[in-house]
């Protein structure tokens, strides 16, 4: 994963190493966000996608609120967006200087996290496979035919830190995704004790979650399950109903 950072103390490195996970941070602030977005979006979006304030295809970016919490936890006062550190298990493997003229896809192609893992040979190819299985929808999650569609699903495979995909998922895709994940686990000998997670990000089309309900679970095996959730829109419908009734009844008093 990629961390944009000015300086990382030994305590943070030890913490990262103890968790045996890579940490990816959205480190740009409001002032520098536009510059970083403009530079990153010069990449071939077919492979790496387009960067915005919330997400990025090649690297999982933590939202700014979560990033601020991270700063407070580790007492970090300043991050410099001019340097990108490549970190795995607490060790800095490589650095990339930020430059608006750099094609970052080429930089990522040079990063090998270990002997058997290459961003260029692995992640970019797998994203194309996913897009063949799942048709990404740019339209609203709510449709007239099916109001229970899933939207903005983000999948991360264990032991594959750079593979993060975000796409719209509808019910018909479940079998295809299950087959894909099962084959990936078999091919890469992924530790099934690690959890494959799906995260649903709210959209403007929906009201806030009253509660998150598990609609379905797609079992990979006894230890790993793929969970799908959706928004609850019952309260919004009820609210609209009562507003209409109140307006209709009030008309008789005038």
The verdict on 27 and 109 lying in the same domain is yes
pLDDT digits (tens, 9 = 90+) for 195-220: 233 333 333 332 232 222 332 333 33
Q: Is residue 245 part of a domain?
A: no
Q: Is residue 120 part of a domain?
A: no
Q: Is residue 76 part of a domain?
A: yes
The verdict on 99 and 168 lying in the same domain is no
Q: Provide the pairing of β-strand 2-4 with 112-114.
A: unpaired
The verdict on 105 and 209 lying in the same domain is no
pLDDT for residue 179: 53
Q: What percent of the chain has pLDDT over 70?
A: 0
Q: How many domains does the chain have?
A: 2
The verdict on 156 and 229 lying in the same domain is yes
Q: What percent of the chain has pLDDT over 90?
A: 0
Confidence bin at 15 (pLDDT 50/70/90): very low
Which residue segment(s) compose the domain that 194 sits in? 127-237
First to last CA, the chain: 65
The verdict on 45 and 87 lying in the same domain is yes
Q: Is residue 250 part of a domain?
A: no
The verdict on 108 and 8 lying in the same domain is yes
Q: Provide the pairing of β-strand 117-118 with 153-156.
A: unpaired
Residue 120 CA, chain-centre distance (Å), reads 19
pLDDT for residue 55: 29
Provide the 3-class DSSP secondary structure of residue 187: helix
Asked which of 78, 94, 115 is the last residue of a domain, the reply is: 115
Q: Is residue 57 part of a domain?
A: yes
| Element of type H or E holding 191 | none
Phi, psi of 18 (to 5 degrees): -65, -30
């Amino acid at each position: 994963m990629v961390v944009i950072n000015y300086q990382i103390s030994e305590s943070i490195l030890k913490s990262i190493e103890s968790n045996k996970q890579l940490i990816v941070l959205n480190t740009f602030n409001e002032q520098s966000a536009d510059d970083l977005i403009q530079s990153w979006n010069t990449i071939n979006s077919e492979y790496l996608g387009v960067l915005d304030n919330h997400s990025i295809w090649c690297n999982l970016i933590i939202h700014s609120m979560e990033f601020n919490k991270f700063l407070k936890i580790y007492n970090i006062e300043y991050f410099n967006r001019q340097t990108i550190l490549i970190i795995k298990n607490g060790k800095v493997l490589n650095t990339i200087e930020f430059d608006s003229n750099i094609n970052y896809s080429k930089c990522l192609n040079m990063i090998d996290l270990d002997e058997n893992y290459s961003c260029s040979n692995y992640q970019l190819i797998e994203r194309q496979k996913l897009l063949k299985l799942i048709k990404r929808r740019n339209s609203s999650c709510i449709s007239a035919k099916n109001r229970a569609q899933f939207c903005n699903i983000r999948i991360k495979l264990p032991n594959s830190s750079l593979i993060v995909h975000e796409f719209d998922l509808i019910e018909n895709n479940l079998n295809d995704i299950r087959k894909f994940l099962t084959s990936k686990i078999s091919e890469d000998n992924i530790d099934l004790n690690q959890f494959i997670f799906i995260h649903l990000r709210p959209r403007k089309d929906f009201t806030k979650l009253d509660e998150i309900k598990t609609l379905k679970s797609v079992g990979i095996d006894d230890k790993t399950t793929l969970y799908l959730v959706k928004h609850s829109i019952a309260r919004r419908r009820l609210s609209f109903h009562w507003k209409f009734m109140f307006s209709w009844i009030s008309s008789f008093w005038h």
